[in-house]
Chain A
Amino acid sequence: MTKDDTHPLMRDWRILVLIAALILSAASIYLLPPAFDKGIQGNVQLGLDLEGGSWIQLEYKAELVTFETTGSIEELVQGLSEDLDTEVTLIEANVVEIRKHFTQEELEPVFAGYGATITNYEIGVGPETAETVKRILEEKINRLGTRDAKVNTLTTFGGASRYIRIELAGVDMITAQEIVGQQGKFDIRIQTTGNETEHVLYGDAITSVGNPAQHPIGSGNWGVPFTINDEGAQALREAAIRTGATDRPTDHELMMLLDDEIVYSAPLSADLASRLKVEEVRNLVASTGVGENALNRAMILEIHLRAGALPVDVTIAGSGSVSAALGEHFKTMSIIAGIIALLTVGLVVYYRYREPSIVIPMLLINTSEIIILLGIARYFTQLDLAAIAGLIAVLGTSIDQLVVITDEVLHEGKVPSPNVYLKRLARALGIIIVAASTMIIAMLPLAVMDLSSLRGFAIITILGVLIGVVITRPAYGKIIMAILSR
């Protein structure tokens, strides 16, 4: 291109918009906030399958029931709570949340007993409970200092929060299961003889739990301090004396069980043993040993001690994990896939037009479209493997439409006058807009549904199509005109 061509082109609004969008996108990926240390992805959020990490999706064992009644609602709620032996809360004028799993068939006679009929039944909890659970889980996860964790409530069409999805970057499946999947009965037992143990106290006797710390400070010996109530302290002292642990502490391990699984087991310390001989002790430390691993164990133990009990029972609806190394492999492969796709597409259009001055702008437009897409998408969604498939499909579509424009403009092989040209460009854009609208409509359901992993895919596709129609296609139309009328 000679300088004379570039000049008027650079003043065209379509081109200016494209350039502005490119600069803003590059900035949003690498500068806002500065992200030079994050490698090639900059500020683009990567999904777990590219970054490595685990996700667990829990389903509430609870339901929202909408009812109609002529009787007293207060009596109904009270009665339900007693008959079903669980917490029943009125969350709307005619909707109750039942915090235990029952089928609609099981509930119908109970409701009928209070002169009420069920008009709608949905598995899940109300917004308030969902918020509470989310907070507890976040608290649990944050204590672990996980670099990047997300807890999201997934809501069904009916408005019930049915699932809660936890994503933990950089955490493997087993640890994730330990953090999230287990809550419940916390039991401290003491070893009597051989493999026999005896119950000392339950989790409800624990009154407070401290952060993992070194005991004594600077020793490198990690442990979790916790406090038990008077009854607990009394039970512990009695058990320790009765079993003889106060005399021979090394023979009598103190075990902590969560849901009947041993999460901690260690002998009483000599210090504690001698103190228990003379008095009840309320402040205890569960020591986990020395080193990095011990610190990790201490952090998990802390969560267990807190028992992190959720107000509602949950089951694991689904889960998954990708190791960091595999994520890295997927990332490399995705980048290779993108480059190879771009090259292949370039070869195909070159085969068709045999004209570098058409093909090169096409590919440049295509590349800038991907950059703009990433720059915008980072505010809306994370990039996972499915989204990358969407991204590359968008690359294909985008070239499609550049072909439509080129062919429409080149119709009958003549270079048209500017007037005819604009008419043809408008017609080409007409075709593109209809095609784009159908693609957007086709993807919209996926983008609005909480359908787990496909949201990113749909959002990327929709954004890609939109950016194409609004920014890059008009600019390409202008560029190709300048080139053809040369």
Chain B
Amino acid sequence: MAFDLYDLVNKYPPKQMMAVPLVLTLLGIIIIGANFMISGVPINLGIDFAGGTAVTVMSDDTPDQMEAYFAAYPLISIGEGLNRGNYIRFGPMSDEEFRSLSRDISARYPDAKIDQIGESFGQTLQQQALLALLFSFIGMAIIVFIAFRTAIPSIAVVFAALTDILITAAIMDVIGLPLSLGTTAALLMLIGYSVDSDILLTTRILKRQGKLEEKLKNAFRTGFIMTTTTLSAVLALLFVSWIGGIEIIMQIAAVLLIGLLIDLMNTWMFNAGLLKWYVQSGRSAKGVKR
């Protein structure tokens, strides 16, 4: 089955294979740019970075009832999960207001999870998250270059990771997933994951003997199952956290899910296309058959 799946893509010439991810990347940049123009940030910030309060409660109350109960506070949204779980977000408020809010919460919803981040702390977290993203990416690029020591395959891997993050970020914008500590962690993890299958592909194509088509097919067979196993673990995570109303895990799982799907496309269309072209054009080292 996996064979046929890949033939769907592989029958096209390399340039056409690469076109789809490139177009999506462009689209992603446009979406992120538009988001930046509208709200001043590439991805909408969750309370971790923007400041505010998030409350998870298990309750049979309807959103309307909750809205009425919390009318005195800067309520942003009420998200309903399965299994009575609700995720309520508030904007920034003063210490006084927050104290009174926590009293109100414990009065009506004693079994709640409350998280409150002040605006200035949120900004510090933002800076640190940005630095973390930057360091991760640079570190990943260095390792990839050390591992392959050739420009084009390395650039392909790094580029695939970059587009993974870009497109995932754009999708987050579209479906309204905020950038929080959890989703930042997931994006960082994507850097690691995206390189996984790329390295397998590149090693198989460049360091193994055999026919190119054959190697591509075999690499796909392995790589596809690799990503699928991770995907299935993530899917299980998403499912359980959705039922259990565990917002942070749900966010992490959602971003990983989107990112892994994008990674499948990027690896097997963009990266495979580029490698195919690279080998066919005879630029690779001797001994690698076309």
Main secondary structure of the interface of B (DSSP, over half): helix
Number of contacting residues on A, CB 8 A? 80
The CA of A403 and the CA of B133, in the complex, are separated in Å by 29
Q: Say if the beta carbon of B222 comes within 8 Å of chain A.
A: yes
- Per-residue interface assignment for chain A, residues 333 to 366, with 1 indicating a CB less than 8 Å from any chain B CB and 0 otherwise: 1101100110111011100100000000000000
CA gap between A317 and B236 in the complex, in Å? 34
Beta-carbon contacts under 8 Å, A308-347 to B:
315-323, 325-326, 329-330, 332-334, 336-337, 340-341, 343-345, 347
| Contact pattern, B 242-285, Cβ under 8 Å of A = 1, otherwise 0 | 01101011001100100000000000000000000000000000
Q: Does B237 contact A (CB under 8 A)?
A: yes
Given the interface pairs A315-B95, A337-B249, the reply to whether A320 lies near B139 with Cβ below 8 Å is no
B residues near A408, Cβ cutoff 8 Å: 222
Contacts of A443 in B (CB 8 A): 136, 188-189, 192
**CB <8 Å contact, A400 and B117:** no
The smallest C-beta distance from A169 to any residue of chain B, in angstroms, reads 14
B199 touches A177 (CB 8 A): no
Q: List residues 407-445 of chain A with CB under 8 A from any CB of chain B.
A: 407-408, 411, 427, 430-431, 434-435, 437-445
Do A393 and B256 form a contact, CB below 8 Å, given A174-B106, A435-B199? yes
A444 close to B136 (CB less than 8 A): yes
Give min CB distance, A70 to chain B, whole Å: 34
Q: Which partner residue on chain B sits nearest A349 by CB separation? A: B229
Chain A residues contacting B132 (CB-CB under 8 Å) are: 445-446, 449, 451
Q: Are A333 and B240 in contact (CB under 8 A)?
A: yes
Contact flags (1/0) for B114-139 with A, using CB distance below 8 Å? 11111011001100110111011101
The residues of A that contact B200 with a CB separation of less than 8 Å are: 404, 431, 435
Decide: B121 and A344 in contact? CB cutoff 8 A: no
In the complex, the answer to whether B234 meets A393 with C-beta atoms within 8 Å is: yes
A451 near B234 with CB under 8 A, answer: no
Nearest CB of chain A from residue B138's CB, rounded to whole Å: 9
CB of B35 within 8 Å of the partner chain: no
**With a CB–CB cut-off of 8 A, which chain A residues contact B102?**
173-174, 177, 321
B131 touches A445 (CB 8 A): yes
Stretch from B4-12, B18-26, B167-175, B179-187 at the A interface: B179-187
State which of A192-200, A225-233, A246-254, A381-389 sits at the interface with chain B.
A381-389
**Alpha-carbon gap, A324 to B131, bound state (A):** 35
A467 → chain B, closest Cβ, in Å? 15
Secondary structure dominating the interface of A? helix
Are B118 and A315 touching (Cβ within 8 A)?
A: yes
Whether the Cβ atoms of B230 and A393 lie closer than 8 Å is yes
Q: With an 8 A cutoff between CB atoms, is B233 at the interface?
A: yes
Say whether A28 faces chain B, with CB atoms less than 8 Å apart.
no
A386–B196 CB distance below 8 A: no
Q: Which residues of A contact B133 (CB under 8 A)?
A: 445
A-B contacts, 14 of them at CB < 8 A, read: A59-B121, A172-B106, A330-B246, A332-B244, A337-B240, A390-B185, A392-B234, A401-B226, A407-B221, A438-B191, A438-B195, A442-B140, A446-B188, A452-B125
Which B residues form the contact surface with A (CB < 8 A)?
Answer: 56, 58, 95, 98-99, 102-103, 105-106, 110-118, 120-121, 124-125, 128-129, 131-133, 135-137, 139-140, 142-144, 147, 181-182, 184-185, 188-189, 191-193, 195-196, 199-200, 203, 207, 218, 221-222, 225-237, 239-241, 243-244, 246, 248-249, 252-253, 256
Known: A407-B225, A439-B196, A446-B132. 16 other contacts (CB 8 A): A49-B248, A57-B121, A174-B103, A319-B116, A321-B102, A333-B240, A334-B246, A340-B240, A348-B232, A392-B236, A393-B237, A396-B233, A400-B230, A443-B189, A445-B139, A458-B185
